[in-house]
Structure 1
C-alpha cells in the first residue's frame, strides 16, 4: 500500500526558489541558517544531517519565528518531540498560551499549559489538543489548514537552542498531571 500524505516519507515540497526567497525576506530567515529547497524527489523524511525541515505555514499560521522562545523549547523538550514533528495547530497553541501569559504579566508555566492541553498523535506528527475535562483557553480556532505539509525547506539546526529529541511512535511516557495539581 502506498503511503498517503499523512506520512513523512510521502511529503515533498512544492516551494520554488522564488517563493523561498520571498518567505525568507518576509520572515527574516538569515542566510546563516542556510535555507535550502529540497530536491524535487526528496521527501521530508529521512532527514538531512544537521538540518531540519521547516514548514512555512508554521510562521504564517502559528506566528512562529526562527529563534525559539525558551518556553517553546521547554515544551518540546518535556514532551520529547522535535519541532518538525509538531503541526502548526500545536505550535499555534503553544504560542497563544505563552502570549496570553505574558499579556497577563505572568510567566508561562509548563504545568498550567499541560492543564489546558494534552499531547496527542496526529498520524506522523504530533499536536496539542484542548483537554475535554478542562476549560478552553481560547475560542474560535480554525480546524483545518490545507497544504501545510508540502511547503517546507531545510534549515541548519543551529537555530535550535538545545538538542531536541525525535519522538518515535513506540515511545510511551505518562504526561498526565498529578490529581492534586491546582493553579490560580
Structure 2
C-alpha cells in the first residue's frame, strides 16, 4: 500500500512570514494551477515587473516552498519554477500565537488567504454564465452549523481532507492515463470555526 502523503505544515515563523505578502500568495496560486512557469510568465499573470516577481520566487524557494525545474528550460537562460509539494501547505495558529509577532503574522496570512479566496469565488460568480450548465449545476456553496466539540471539529476536518485527497489522487491518475476530457481546476474553500450567537438570524 502506498504511503499517504501529508500536507507540509509550517512551524517556523520566518517561513510563515513568506506568505504575509499577498503577491507571494498570488504567485503560489498561479504556479499551483500552471504546475510550472517562468518569472516572465508569472509577471504577466500578476501584472508586475519580472525582477520583482523573480525576487519573490527566490524568497519562497529559500524557505522550501518552490524548487527550480531546469528540465523544462530549452536554452538555460530563464529559470522555470514549480511547487515543492503538490499538497500545498498548512499551519496551526497554536504554533505561533504564543508571542505577539507570531499572532500578528498568523492574522496577516489568514486574512490574505481569505481575501484571495473571496476574490476567486467572486470572479467565478461574475463569469458563471460563460460556463456550461453541467459545471454551474455541479458548483456548490453550502453552510452547515452542527454543534460539536473541538475534538469532533478536528476529526471532521481530517475526514474532509482525506476525502478531498482521494478525489485529487483519482483525478491525477486519470490525467496521467490520458483522461483529460472535461477536466478543470476546481477550487474548494472550507472553513470550520466556533461561534456564539449574537441574537441575530441568518
> Same-fold call, TM > 0.5?
no
Q: Whose Rg is larger?
A: 2
- Structure with the larger strand share: 1
- Structure with the larger helix share: 2
Q: Using CA pairs below 8 Å that are at least 6 residues apart, which structure has the higher relative contact order?
A: 1
